[in-house]
């Protein structure tokens, strides 16, 4: 992505991988462990079941009344309400970006496009950008997407 004419041509193995983009399924992590993957299509059903499942791997152990509890709080002088399942952290992070910075840059371009389309986060949501490399941070600046990443 950032190669120039003075660099040698990359050498690739003869292996070819095929990916049918129609088979890619958008997913989220959680709701309890960050390494559990749940498809968007199943998120509501999965989360609702987890609320009342026995405490453990996929369960929080709430009774029906407990699933409806919420909590008001003040942030920067304004009142908000937390409900079960609300997003409170939005993170873009990678530990492999020094060998694959284009993936992190693609995340920056996605963030830019989202902001330009009017998407935003609540002010109390913790946003985190952890590229793990100062090189990628420089790529963000050069590409003009750094201001969309906070």
**Two tokens at 19?**
């990916």
Would you say how long the chain is, in residues? 150
What digits encode the pLDDT tens for the residues 68-91? 999 999 999 999 999 988 888 887
What lies within 8 Å, CB to CB, of 143 at 6+ separation is 105, 108, 109
- Lowest-pLDDT choice from 27-41, 45-59, 72-86, 112-126: 27-41
Domains of the chain, residue spans: 25-83, 87-150
β-strands 78-83, 70-75 pairing: antiparallel
What digits encode the pLDDT tens for the residues 96-139? 545 567 778 888 888 899 999 999 889 999 888 777 777 778 88
């Amino acid at each position: 992505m950032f190669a120039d004419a003075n660099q040698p041509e990359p050498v690739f193995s003869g292996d070819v991988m095929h990916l049918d983009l129609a088979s890619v399924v958008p997913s989220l992590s959680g709701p309890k462990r960050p390494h559990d993957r749940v498809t968007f299509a199943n998120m509501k059903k999965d989360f609702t079941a987890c609320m009342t499942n026995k405490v453990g791997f996929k369960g929080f152990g709430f009774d029906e009344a407990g699933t409806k509890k919420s909590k008001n709080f003040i942030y920067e002088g304004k009142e908000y309400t937390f409900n079960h399942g609300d997003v409170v952290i939005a993170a873009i992070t990678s530990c492999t970006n020094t060998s694959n910075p284009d993936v992190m840059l693609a995340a920056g371009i996605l963030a830019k496009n989202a902001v330009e389309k009017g998407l935003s986060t609540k002010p109390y949501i913790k946003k985190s950008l952890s590229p793990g490399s100062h090189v990628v941070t420089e790529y963000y600046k050069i590409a003009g997407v750094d201001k969309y990443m906070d």
